[in-house]
């Protein structure tokens, strides 16, 4: 049970959150202009690193806001949380 610091509510148990996978994957500007390969990439392919990963969470049992976190998937350590729309912080 991770302890996740919601940028709006503070630290809460993981069970209050919904996971949203990789962050910063924007819906394509013009899907019709994409090739099938490019569209498939948007639909189905996400990064899966062993290490730092910028990912989305939603505080579903709290403020219901989506936000982003940078977590190390090898250790589960959360290095940063930041609000949706903010740039990914640089982790030293």
Partner 1 sequence: MSPGTPSPETQGRRTPGADLPDHPDRLWRSAEPKRAYDVVIVGGGGHGLATAYYLAKNHGITDVAVLERGWLAGGNMARNTTIIRSNYLWDESAGIYEHALKLWEGLEEDLGYPLLFSQRGVLNLAHSLQDVRDSVRRVNANRLNGVDAEWLTPEQVKEVCPIVDVSPDVRYPVLGGTYQPRAGIAKHDYVAWGFAKAAADLGVDMIEHCEVTGLDVRDGRVTGVQTTRGPIAAGKVALAAAGHSSVVAGYAGVSLPLQSHPLQALVSELLEPVHPTVVMSNAVHVYVSQAHKGELVMGAGIDAANSYRRRGAFHIIERQMSAALELFPVFARAHVLRTWGGVVDVTPDASPVVGLTPVEDLYVNCGWGTGGFKATPGVGWCYAHTVATGEPHPLNAPFSLDRFTTGKLVDEHGAAAVAH
Partner 2 sequence: MSERSERTGGAAAQPHRREGASGRVLRFRFDGREYEGLEGDTLASALLANGVRAVASSIRLGRPRGVYAAGSEEPNALVQIEEPFPEPMLQATTVELYDGLVATGLPGQGRLADRPDPARYDAVHAHCDVLVVGAGPAGIAAAGVAARAGARVILADERPEPGGSLLGTAETLDGRPGREWAAEEVAALAALPEVRVLRRTTVLGHYDDNHVIAVERRTNHLGAAAPADVARERVWRIRAGRVVLATGGHERFVAFAGNDLPGVMLAGAARTYANHYRVLPGRRAVVFTTNDSAYAAALDLADAGVEIAAIADVRQAPGEAWAARCAERGLEVLTGHVVTAAKGEGEVSSVEVASREGGQAREIPADLLLVSGGWTPVVHLFSQAGGTLRYDEELGAFTPGETRQAVEAAGFARGVRTLRACLEDGAEAGRRALAAAGFAVPAGPAVPSGTAVPSAGEEPAAAPAEHLWLVEAPGDGGDYGTHFVDLQRDVTVGEVLRAVGAGLTSVEHVKRYTTAGTAHDQGKTSGLLTGGVVAHALGVDVAELGTTTFRAPYTPVSFAALAGRDRGPLHDPVRVTAMHEWHVARGALFENVGQWKRPWYYPRRGEGPGEDPGEDMEAAVLRECRAAREDVAAMDASTLGKIDVVGPDAAVLLDRLYTNMMSTLKVGSIRYGVMCRPDGMVFDDGTVIRLADDRFLVTTTTGNAAAVLDWMEEWLQTEWPDLRVCCTSVTEQWATVALVGPRSREVLARLAPGLAVDNDSFPFMTWRDAEVAGIEARVCRISFSGELAYEINVSSWSGLALWEAVMASGEVTPYGTETMHVLRAEKGFPIVGQDTDGTVTPQDLGMEWIVSKKKADFVGKRSFARADTSRPDRKHLVGLLPEDPGVLLPEGAHLVETSALPEPPVPTLGFVTSSYRSAALGRTFALALVSGGRERVGERLYAPVGADLVPVTVTSHVLYDPEGARRDG
Q: Where on the chain is the footprint of partner 2 (CB under 8 A)?
A: 1-3, 13, 18, 20, 26-28, 30-32, 34, 36, 39, 42-43, 56, 58, 60, 64-66, 75-77, 84-85
Q: How many CB atoms lie within 10 A of CB 79?
A: 15
Of the candidates 17, 6, 8, the residue with the CA atom closest to the CA atom of residue 58: 17
Among 24, 46, 64, 88, binds partner 1 (CB under 8 A): 46
Shortest CB 48 distance to partner 2, Å: 19
Q: Give the HSE-up count for residue 4: Cα atoms under 13 Å, Cβ half-sphere.
A: 28
Give the x-and-dash track for 58-87 against partner 1 (CB under 8 A). -------------x-xxxx-----------
Among 3, 33, 50, 90, binds partner 1 (CB under 8 A): 50
**Toward partner 2, which CB reaches closer, 49 or 83?**
83
Helix (H, G, I), strand (E, B) or coil at 33: helix
What SS3 string covers 46-73?
A: CCCCCCEEEEEEECCCCCCCEEEEEEEC
């Amino acid at each position: 049970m991770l302890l996740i610091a919601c940028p709006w509510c503070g630290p809460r148990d993981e069970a209050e959150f919904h996971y949203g996978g990789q962050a910063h994957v924007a819906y394509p500007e013009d899907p019709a202009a994409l090739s099938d390969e490019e569209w498939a990439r948007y639909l189905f392919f996400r990064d899966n690193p062993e290490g730092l990963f910028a990912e989305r969470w939603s505080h579903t049992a709290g403020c219901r806001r989506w936000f982003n976190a940078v977590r190390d998937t090898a250790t589960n350590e959360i290095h940063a949380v930041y609000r949706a729309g903010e740039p990914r912080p640089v982790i030293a």
